[in-house]
Amino acid sequence: MNNCAENLFPSGVLRNLENLMGYHFKDSNLLARALTHRSYVNEHEEMRLFNNESLEFLGDSVLGFLVSARIFLRYPELTEGELSKVKAYLVSATNLAKLAESLHLGEFILLSRGEEKTGGRTKRAIIADAYEAVLGAVYLDGGIDAVADFLDSQINAYLDDLDIRQLTYGDFKSALQERLHNLGRSEPVYRVVNEIGPDHNKIFVIQALADGIVIAEASGGTKKEAQQAAAGLALKNLASEPS
C-alpha cells in the first residue's frame, strides 16, 4: 500500500485520532488512506497515493447495514417505509458530518493547498465522506464487530433522542408548512447556499427560512433531498415552541 502512515503523518498524530475513536488500528496505513482526500493525491502525483473514495464506498455499505440492523431491532413495530426514513436521517450527510466533527476528523484529513485555503476541513461533504472511509478502514482492520462497537459508541445517543413520530410523519416539507402555520408564521422558503463536488456527485446545501430567518440548514444529493432534510431538521428545532 502506498499510503504509508509514517510518511504521511507526523509521529503520534494518528494515535491521537485513534484515542478519540476508542479504536486502535493494527494496520495504521488503512487509517492513513481513509484520511487521504483526492485533492491531496492529485497534488502529489509523484507519491502514487490512493485516495479514500473506495474506502468511503465500503464504509457506506457497512454503515447502511449496521444502522439498518440497529433500528430494526430497536423499533420492530415500524413499517419498511418508516424504517427507511429513520435510516435516511441517521446516515444523512448532515448527521455524518456531526459525528465526524465529534472526532475532530477534519483536522486529520490530508488536503491539497487549494482545498485547505477554501475551508476544506470544515466542508460537510469532505468530512462526512472521510467518516465513511474511516468506517471502511475499521472494517478491513478489525472486522464487522469492530465497526459495530465503534458505531454504537457514536450513534446510541442519536437513537436514544430520536423523535420517531416526527421522523416518520411523512413529507417533512408539508409537516413544516403546517407547523409554521400553527405558529402564525410565514410559509417556509428554501435557499441553496452551496453546491459541493462534481456534477455527477454533487452535494446541495440548503437553508430553510421562515420570516426571513434561517431555521435549519442541511445537505443532500439532490435539491429535493436537501430540502426534505432541512425541513426535518427545522421541525426538530421548532419542537419546543408552542403551537
Q: Are 39 and 125 part of one and the same domain?
A: yes
Q: Does a structural domain hold residue 167?
A: no
Q: Which of 27, 60, 101, 116 is catalytic?
A: 60
Q: Are 185 and 219 part of one and the same domain?
A: yes
Q: Are 233 and 118 part of one and the same domain?
A: no
Q: Does a structural domain hold residue 243?
A: no
Q: Which of 115, 132, 141, 217 is catalytic?
A: 132
- Domain termination site, one of 101, 128, 162: 162
Which range marks the domain in which residue 134 is found?
5-162
Q: Does a structural domain hold residue 193?
A: yes
pLDDT at 243: 47
In this structure, are residues 238 and 215 in contact, taking their beta carbons and an 8 Å threshold?
A: yes
Q: Are 179 and 97 part of one and the same domain?
A: no
Q: Are 187 and 79 part of one and the same domain?
A: no
**Residue 82 designated active-site:** no
Q: Does a structural domain hold residue 54?
A: yes
Q: Are 30 and 54 part of one and the same domain?
A: yes
How many C-beta neighbours within 10 Å does residue 82 have?
18
Q: Are 189 and 73 part of one and the same domain?
A: no
> Can you spell out the DSSP letters for 124-180?
HHHHHHHHHHHHHHHHHHH-HHHHHHHHHHHHHHHHHH--HHHHTSS-HHHHHHHHH
Q: Does a structural domain hold residue 122?
A: yes
Q: Are 182 and 228 part of one and the same domain?
A: yes
Q: Are 137 and 179 part of one and the same domain?
A: no
Q: 3-class SS at 207? A: strand
**Residue 129 designated active-site:** no
What's the total number of domains in the chain? 2
* CATH number of the domain where residue 46 is located: 1.10.1520.10
Q: Does a structural domain hold residue 22?
A: yes
Query: pLDDT 10s digit of each residue in the chain, 243 long?
Result: 578 988 999 989 999 999 999 999 999 999 999 999 999 999 999 999 999 999 999 999 999 999 999 999 998 988 887 788 788 888 888 889 999 999 999 999 999 999 999 999 999 889 999 999 999 999 999 999 999 999 999 998 878 877 776 666 556 887 788 788 878 899 999 999 999 888 877 899 999 999 999 999 998 888 888 898 899 889 888 875 654
Q: Are 177 and 130 part of one and the same domain?
A: no
pLDDT at 36: 97
Calculate helix-pair angle for 223-238, 172-182, nearest 10 degrees. Answer: 40
* CATH number of the domain where residue 213 is located: 3.30.160.20
